[in-house]
Amino acid sequence: MTDSYISSRVDAFSSTNSYGNSNGNGSSPAPHQNNSVTSPVIRKKLMGYVGFANLPNQVHRKSVRKGFQFTAMVVGESGLGKSTLINTLFNTPLYPPKQPLPPSAERPKTVAIESIGADIEENGVRLHLTVVDTPGFGDFVNNDDSWRPILENIESRFDSYLEQENRVNRQKIMDNRVHACLYFIQPTGHSLKQIDIEFMRRLHTRVNLIPVIAKADTLTDEGIADFKARILADIAHHKIQIFQAPTYENEDEETIAEAEEIASKIPFAIVGSDHVVQTPEGRQVRGRAYPWGVIEVDNEEHCDFVKLRQMLVRTYMEELREYTNDVLYENWRTEKLVSMGVAQDSTVFREVNPSAKMQEERILHEAKLSKMEAEMKMVFQQKVQEKESKLKQSEEELYARHKEMKEALDKQRADLEDKKRRIESGRPLTPEKNATKNRRFLR
């Protein structure tokens, strides 16, 4: 594993997080799924139109710049057309044609988990797509535990996400969580098999389940309608939660109609084909040719492929990601932390009521404002006091000078009055003064 990209991926899948390490010796435990095979990641640039360029309508611009990470998983028995459907869905031979195993070849004993990545760009929107394949599911004599490695794989991806969230630097979180799981139902025309029910029951709380009827071209239209009804009845009976397209109150009629149309097709009856065939009218279409005619993959009258693609990549990709993060991952995380004995510190993780939070923020803001006001008042008062004391000081100085001058004047006046009195009484002025006068006259 010299390629850092590949190795980071493999780490993400098989990493046993710091919490789940039950052997307690602190050493890195062996990957818990030694049977899982992770094939090298193929990076491809796809040219054909897929439809996720509509994503900007679902989310804001920031995500568009960063690009999207989306991981889809396909589960179902061998030969049901999983690889073909993925190729059809993303309009590219992501999976090369199958090489039949020689009879002598050793076959895996358990479900293998393989993943393939592709970078797709469409109208400036980048999508990093990962497809997780589960070859071998349901292929064994005893399939009782076929769901287990798949559940473990899904949870180990949650683990890896949790571990990344707990890092000091969370700038570059790789979201390898499985956002949608296409479950392939064999087109028996009867009802769900035990293995189907078991799988869905075990996984519905961990992944968005999207049931599909594989190779729907092998059933008649009525056969499909009956089969769908029975599948839905089974799903309801076993209280299995499959992905429900969310509906919003304030949406326009067109969107609601589209959502209803998509919901009405679940479980999608699909036909996959990665080759082009010619219709009797001479059109070149993706489809399968039969002596009795051509089944077109992209024709809504022929199968639900278009609706499935619409749901997966156009209308609900963001919803699938959101539900995975907000509900499935969150529940898993809570269960995991509680099982580890981590108690909720209610002072830190308070339930946040938006209006209460706003109220709280307003009170804080008001307190801050009044504090600022008080500070300003204080500064103002201080300035006023300084000014006042300065004024007082200069007033005192003035007063003192005034007093001084007044005293000087009073003294002068007293002197003058004394002189006047002396002149009036005919007494001569002081001899000293006369002497000075006389001296001046002598000069």
Ligand X SMILES: Nc1nc2c(ncn2[C@@H]2O[C@H](COP(=O)(O)OP(=O)(O)O)[C@@H](O)[C@H]2O)c(=O)[nH]1
Contact footprint for Mg ion (CB under 5 A): 82-83
Q: Which does 8 bind (CB under 5 to 8 A by kind): Mg ion, ligand X, none?
A: none
Q: Where does this chain bind ligand X (CB under 6 A)?
A: 76, 78-84, 98, 215, 217-218, 271-272, 288
Q: Which does 84 bind (CB under 5 to 8 A by kind): ligand X, Mg ion, none?
A: ligand X
Q: Where are the alpha helices (DSSP H) in 143-268?
A: 147-165, 194-203, 221-237, 253-265
Q: Which does 215 bind (CB under 5 to 8 A by kind): Mg ion, ligand X, none?
A: ligand X
Q: Which does 308 bind (CB under 5 to 8 A by kind): ligand X, Mg ion, none?
A: none
Which residue number, 290 or 380, has a Cβ lying nearer to ligand X?
290
Q: What does the DSSP 8-state code read for residue 88?
A: H
Collect all residues with Cβ–Cβ distance below 8 Å to 213 and sequence separation of at least 6.
185, 187, 219, 224, 227, 228, 231, 267, 268, 269, 270
What distance in Å separates the CA atoms of residue 210 and residue 245, rounded to the nearest whole number?
11
Give the shortest CB-81-to-Mg ion separation in angstroms. Answer: 8
Give the shortest CB-288-to-Mg ion separation in angstroms. Answer: 17
Which residue number, 82 or 215, has a Cβ lying nearer to Mg ion?
82
> 114-122 and 125-133 as β-strands: parallel, antiparallel, unpaired?
antiparallel
Which residue number, 157 or 288, has a Cβ lying nearer to ligand X?
288
Which residue number, 139 or 319, has a Cβ lying nearer to Mg ion?
139
Closest-CA residue to 48 (of 262, 258, 274): 274
Closest-CA residue to 214 (of 234, 193, 194, 198): 193
- Give the CA count within 13 Å in the CB-facing half-sphere of 351: 1
Q: Which two tokens stand for residue 326?
A: 């907000």
Q: Which does 79 bind (CB under 5 to 8 A by kind): ligand X, Mg ion, none?
A: ligand X
Which residue number, 98 or 437, has a Cβ lying nearer to ligand X?
98
Which residue number, 278 or 334, has a Cβ lying nearer to ligand X?
278
Give the shortest CB-325-to-Mg ion separation in angstroms. Answer: 28
CA distances from 440 to 302, 429, 433, 435 (A): 143, 16, 11, 9
3-state helix, strand and coil shares in percent for the chain, rounded to the nearest 5: 50, 10, 40
Give the shortest CB-57-to-ligand X separation in angstroms. Answer: 30
Residue nearest to ligand X (CB): 81
Give the shortest CB-351-to-ligand X separation in angstroms. Answer: 45
